[in-house]
Amino acid sequence: MYWGDGAAASEYPEERRPQKKHAIEIYSLHVDCKVTSRFAHTVVTSKIVNRANESREATFEVELPKTAFITNFSMSIDGKVYPGIIKEKASAQKEYDTAVLRGQSAGLVKITGRKLEQFHMSVSIAAASKVTFELTYEELLKRQLGKFELLIKVRPRQLVKHFQIDVHIFEPQGIRFLETDSTFMTNELTEALTKVQNETKAHILFKPTVDQQKINPELDETLLNGDFVVRYDVKRGATAGDIQIVNGYFVHYFAPHEMPVFPKNVIFLIDRSGSMAGRKIEQTKAALLKILQDLRPEDHFSFITFNSRVAEWRSSLLQATAENMANAAGFVQTLSASGGTDINRALLTAVSVLDKAKRLPKSSVSMIILLTDGQPTSGESNVEVIQENIQKAVNGKYALFCLGFGFDVSYKFLEKMALSNGGIARRIYENADAALQLQGFYQEVATPILRKIEMQYPENAIEGLTKNNFKLFFEGSEIIVSGKISNELDLFFLPLQHASDLTLKEEANVKEKEQVFQNQSYIFGNFIERLWAYLTIQQLLEKSISAQAEDQKTLEAQALELSLRYSFVTPLTSMVVTKPADQQQTELANKPTEAGKWGIEHSFPVGGKCFLLFQWRISIIFSNAKRKKSSWWLFYRAKYLRFGKICEAKHKR
């Protein structure tokens, strides 16, 4: 998070920018987060005063998790409130286009890293005036490797008189463990951190004084620059999960533990085309060597590498014996990069190897893990044909996980292919820790403990049920199902079945469950209803990625209706923020997606490749142009709008 005078931000390196008496002073900053049964509701409030004797620009930046939906934003200038209004994206875009033609700012939200996206707002305030910014966002915390993680990015860039982070957690199942972590914590700052915890509740307070925030007593420089993280997990019994009910909506959490792990049959499909040369291939090799050590003795594995040609390390899968893993490690060390990228033939070869595999454990899980950094350039290059070929070959038998290395990949292509074949896609960022990212992903899918899970609920009594069938469940994760109870139910009875012919049953008294959340001051509204809407929107959008055109329209229409009803900024909606009349009046907040690096992205073909053009660059050209209606300006304005429509149509296809 950054709040302050935007003009000063670029004058010095971020880490050692000299402090001065700030003309734009942040005198209060409060992050208030309430986590109720994994659903987090965060409000960031910043109060700023202009101590200069002239108008100055105040900037408000918040880095929030990619998985979060913004639900509200407002700024109050000398008592007058300027709210953000959430609208259908097409409607909001019209207002945005008009603003761009006047030379005004483009998007308010952009992706800033693998976990975060940034909300940015600037406004000019008069001498001695005050402005209060308030941003609200919500997210459902996802359990990974046995824990939930709440991430708060802290970066005020100046000392703040009243700085405070409050995190309230309520978990009716009971809190099994709770820890905090920070990239900027010192002994002095540790004294400003307090934790209070009982069986089901916890309160974490971080409230450093101005002196505690200083790098050293002699300099007015702030230590607060980095991540503030809360991690926890809940208690679980050997049951079919935990059911919670509020105002007619229910949520069912299921995460069994201490269950036997299915053996894996895994093919690592590694891109060794020319674009992987250098650091990428070295990081891939380092990750594979570590992953080999994590294979279990009962697992079977093999490698297939590809560039313009496809090469099998072995003609069949091998058991993860010490000898086979040593041979595999030797092979990994020899990998080098050159040539094109034949993704289609590589994937079909991997499926064929699994189809022909013999003597594999009877109850085992087969998967393909694809790592690539580019577009298909050899063999079949039409991504739609490739997707059809792979889906037909896999035919629901195996799970396909697609890892896209860097930003030259077509992430949309990989994501659709993975979701169509029972897996997920993940972007690997080209940072120094790329090898750790690869290992981290493997750890998430390394321990399958359930297959073909079906969550069953009372017939004719549930509406709007979220996804209740799951192909695989991995140890350390969690299944969440939510819905609306349509009829009067006294007893909530549900069986849970999976492919091992094991049936678990759970019974819940509706009135007793509803009592759990009565009269709790830290519960925010109808949180289970909002959780249900959040989860439903996420799943509709995910389903639409691999759906046919007509089905895609229906799914997106349903997601749009819920986004507007519950005021979520999603990929289908935008928030329009109107500033005071004497300033650039209209700003637009879009939800970025991983398939499009920024909230607003267009593409056009050049020489067979796809290059990106960001609208904010175009808007800079317009804002620097003379505002008179010259023939030059009108010509390029018309060209820009026409270009945007062409690219928008191409992007949708």
* Calpha distance 151→504 (Å, rounded): 34
**If we measure between CA atoms, which residue out of 178, 168, 165 comes closest to residue 208?**
165
Which two tokens mark 126? 């008069």
The pLDDT assigned to 6 comes to 46
Residue 26 exposed, middle or buried by CB count within 10 Å (0-12, 13-18, 19+):
buried
Residue 82 exposed, middle or buried by CB count within 10 Å (0-12, 13-18, 19+):
middle
Residue keyed to tokens 């899970």? 453
Q: How far apart, in Å, are the Cα atoms of 250 and each of 38, 245, 482? A: 14, 4, 6
Residue 623 exposed, middle or buried by CB count within 10 Å (0-12, 13-18, 19+):
middle
Residues 6+ apart with CB under 8 A from 57: 5, 6, 7, 24, 122, 123, 124, 125
Whole-structure pTM value? 0.84
Name the amino acid, one letter, at 402: C
Apex CA 410: angle with CA 150 and CA 589, to 5°?
A: 50
Ramachandran region, residue 302 (left: φ > 0; alpha: ψ -120 to 50; beta: rest):
beta
The pLDDT assigned to 380 comes to 94
Residues in the chain with pLDDT values less than 50: 2-3, 6-19, 103-106, 597-653
Cβ(120)–Cβ(109) under 8 Å?
yes
Residue keyed to tokens 């709770």? 178
C-alpha 467: how far from chain center: 19
Cβ(475)–Cβ(494) under 8 Å?
no
Query: What are the residue ranges of helices labelled H in 115-245?
Result: 187-190, 210-213
The pLDDT assigned to 245 comes to 86
Residues 6+ apart with CB under 8 A from 403: 369, 370, 371, 372, 414, 425, 426, 427, 428, 438, 441
